[in-house]
Amino acid sequence: MSKRKIELNEKVEKLAAKYLKTYDIDLDTLTNKALKAYLIDHLSSSQIKEALRENDNTSSNYSGRLFPNNIDDLNL
């Protein structure tokens, strides 16, 4: 898993802090869930499958479970 640095603007930081406290999760979990939802909403299912195939063939079994053939089956 790669590490990335992000900078939240003031409003997003306040909203994130409230959400983290309310739902008792960490920022990494929130970031991954939010980014996944955003990307799934903005990419087609074929683009998602292509990106996952390009990344790593060894994880194809895992990605097949993460992103099933029918994009509508994803449980966000």
pLDDT tens, per residue, the chain with 76 residues: 788 888 999 999 999 999 999 999 999 999 999 999 999 999 999 999 998 887 665 555 555 565 555 555 555 5
Check whether residue 18 and residue 29 sit in a common domain.
yes
Check whether residue 17 and residue 34 sit in a common domain.
yes
Check whether residue 71 and residue 49 sit in a common domain.
yes
pLDDT at position 12 is 96
Check whether residue 37 and residue 48 sit in a common domain.
no
Check whether residue 54 and residue 68 sit in a common domain.
yes
In this prediction the pTM is 0.62
Q: What is the distance between the alpha carbons of residues 35 and 58, in angstroms, rounded to a whole number?
A: 23
Check whether residue 73 and residue 50 sit in a common domain.
yes
Number of folded domains in the chain?
Answer: 2
Q: What is the distance between the alpha carbons of residues 41 and 27, in angstroms, rounded to a whole number?
A: 21
Q: What is the distance between the alpha carbons of residues 2 and 45, in angstroms, rounded to a whole number?
A: 23
Q: What is the distance between the alpha carbons of residues 20 and 4, in angstroms, rounded to a whole number?
A: 19
